[in-house]
């Protein structure tokens, strides 16, 4: 067996034990994910980046709450998102619970890249999954512009390797947009409040934001 990912796998198994023993922490994480995917719907393009980044920090809080020494590295690493006990991991999500998950984006169809990261997958309706290139042999596809793995292939993987599967009900994103909230608007409001704006803040309202998004996206 390739030993490159042996420590990553052992860590995940320990993480799984602690997660399943601590219902309060697990419930807080699930509730936070639920709130996030409802409030910042990824049907609005900007939110796709915001939600991905927010999940990284929510998962970091979860890992720390379960007693592990972890830090966020997504701002300094091209592929890694967090580091725990000296081990680097990538984090991928699917809040539709179907389709394909991009592992690596390619700059061109002829560019030769490889997926070489221990990865945590958070998938609606399925749970939290650990996988690495040695575990997903022949399940990763080159689509020309990206290396991808399908949710269906991940399901087939965990059916035989449930040591790497935490069976927790990760919420689905809504089928229809419920909230038109976007992070850039929230930041703008926060800045105006912090600078004690009296005039500009009057010209930003949630109703105006909703109308603008409807015109741009729907």
Q: For residue 72, what are the CA distances in angstroms to 77, 91, 214? A: 10, 11, 34
Higher pLDDT, 77 or 169: 169
Domain boundaries, the chain: 6-166, 183-217
- H or E element in which residue 147 lies: strand 146-150
Average pLDDT, the chain: 89
How far is the C-alpha of 126 from the C-alpha of 128, rounded, in Å? Answer: 7
pLDDT at 179: 78
Q: How many CB atoms lie within 10 A of CB 170?
A: 22
What 8-state DSSP symbol labels residue 105?
E
Close Cβ partners of 177 (under 8 Å, ≥ 6 residues apart): 41, 43, 44, 218
pTM, full prediction: 0.89
Choose from 10-14, 183-187, 205-209 the range with maximum mean pLDDT.
10-14
Q: Which residue has the higher pLDDT, 186 or 166?
A: 166
Number of H helices, E strands in the chain: 6, 9
Q: Does the structure show a pLDDT above 50 at 214?
A: no
Mean pLDDT of all residues in 143-163? 93
Higher pLDDT: 128 or 213? It is 128
């Amino acid at each position: 067996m390739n030993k490159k990912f042996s420590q990553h796998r052992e860590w995940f198994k320990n993480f799984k034990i602690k997660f399943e023993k601590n219902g309060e922490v697990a419930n807080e994480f699930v509730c936070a994910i639920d709130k996030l995917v409802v409030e910042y719907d990824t049907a609005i393009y900007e939110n796709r980046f915001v939600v991905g980044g927010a999940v990284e920090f929510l998962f970091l809080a979860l890992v720390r709450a379960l007693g592990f020494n972890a830090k966020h590295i997504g701002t300094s690493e091209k592929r890694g998102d967090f580091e725990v006990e000296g081990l680097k991991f990538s984090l991928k999500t699917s809040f539709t619970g179907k389709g394909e998950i991009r592992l690596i984006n390619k700059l061109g169809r002829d560019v030769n890249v490889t997926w070489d990261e221990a990865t945590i997958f958070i998938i609606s309706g399925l749970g939290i999954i650990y996988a690495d290139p040695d575990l997903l042999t022949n399940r990763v596809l080159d689509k020309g512009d990206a290396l991808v793995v399908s949710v269906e292939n991940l399901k087939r993987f965990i059916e035989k390797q449930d040591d790497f599967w935490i069976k927790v009900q990760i919420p689905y994103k809504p089928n229809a947009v419920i909230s038109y909230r976007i992070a850039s608007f929230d930041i703008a409001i926060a800045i105006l409040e912090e600078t004690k704006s009296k005039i500009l803040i009057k010209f930003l309202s949630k109703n105006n934001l909703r109308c603008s998004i409807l015109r741009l996206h729907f």
